[in-house]
Amino acid sequence: MVKLIAGMKRKPGMHAAEFHRYWRDVHAPLVQTIPEFFGLVRKYVQSHALETKTAEAMGFRASEFDGVAELWFNSEADMVKAFTAPRYLEIIRPDEEKFIDLASVKLVIAETVPIYSSDVREQ
């Protein structure tokens, strides 16, 4: 299993609340209607950044990202196939341009190594 982790910032001038609403309520449902893309995704999680000072209180710098998307695929080949599918390029990518500052996106492509989960469903 391969996971794509994408740190994202909202488009300049867009309010955080609007970014989060659009990503959750408009973009996510749209993505799920494109089988050439979503049919290759094994799991999709959105993590919406909270406006909090907790990171600093713990001695860390807060992330500049407004959110992190995590998408799991069976293989890197499936990941590439999903993100180069014609309907991804025609429908999903233009929608991403509406709310994401694409120039600031940072990707990590990783192999997951489960170490611990207190959630039995995750084991």
The residue range of the domain holding 107 is 2-114
122 in any annotated domain: no
Average pLDDT, integer, range 32-38: 96
pLDDT digits (tens, 9 = 90+) for 50-106: 876 765 666 777 778 999 999 999 999 999 999 999 999 999 999 999 999 999 999
Q: Is the pLDDT of residue 120 over 80?
A: no
pLDDT for residue 21: 98
- The full DSSP string for the chain is -EEEEEEE-BPTT--HHHHHHHIIIIIHHHHTT-HHHHTTEEEEEEEEPP--SHHHHTT-PPPS-SEEEEEEES-HHHHHHHHH-HHIIIIIHHHHHHHB-GGG-EEEEEE------S-GGG-
The pTM of the whole model exceeds 0.75:
yes
55 in any annotated domain: yes
Tally the domains of the chain: 1
> What's 75's domain CATH number?
3.30.70.100
% of the chain surpassing 90 pLDDT:
78
42 in any annotated domain: yes
121 in any annotated domain: no
